[in-house]
Amino acid sequence: MARTRGRPLARGEVGTAAAAAFAAAIGVLGAALLYFFVNPLTMWLTLATFVGYAIVYTVLLKPATPQNIVIGGASGAMPPVLGWAAVANDVGAPALVLFLIIFVWTPPHFWSLALYRVEDYRKSGLPMLPVTHGPEFTRLNILLYTLLLTAASLLPYLIGMSGLFYLACVLALDAVYLGYAWRMWRAYTDTLARKAFGYSIFYLAALFGALLVDHYLR
């Protein structure tokens, strides 16, 4: 695929056995560090995330269902939960809210990429949503998930986790993201999808940045 062909494994610079051995080694080392220097809860949650992404998502779901991104997004949404567990040694409601935001953000983020890379996915045989259900259905799903994301992004304010600064920032961020989703649904171009994909990355970074700043303003 065009977006992955420059990676060492794809170029043949690193063999699959060496890559697997390296991944296993750093996985074991990371688990040991978390267990002995952080807490067992964080270690077990991290191990579950590792297995979820490397095996459940990559090996089982990715080649089997167009919902691979939706289900597999759970692994990608775990970092805030892991950070929370590392500090608090539990998993509180705020951590789950942050998990939900990333989980709902993942499908519109990745489907925007899949739309303008659809031929790559078609050739690879991976059942991404634009391949299996067509671009129009995918664009509708991007809009619907972006609406869900807007609702989820308000939860930190609604549960008292953040204040007015965060609320103002996230409303502005959501307005722009919804604008991209609406325009892609109504008048799609690859250029627009690329811009939406780029904005989705900025969106998530800005949302968490606003949460951080809001924390110190309160």
For the chain, the domains span 17-89, 92-218
* pLDDT (mean) for 60-79: 88
- Per-residue pLDDT band for 208 (boundaries 50, 70, 90) equals very high
- Per-residue pLDDT band for 218 (boundaries 50, 70, 90) equals confident
Question: Which two structure tokens, joined as six digits, stand for 74?
Answer: 């759970």
Which pLDDT does position 43 carry in this prediction?
Answer: 97
- Residue linked to tokens 């077990």: 44
CA torsion sign for 169, 175, 178, 179 is: negative
- Residue linked to tokens 């949460």: 211
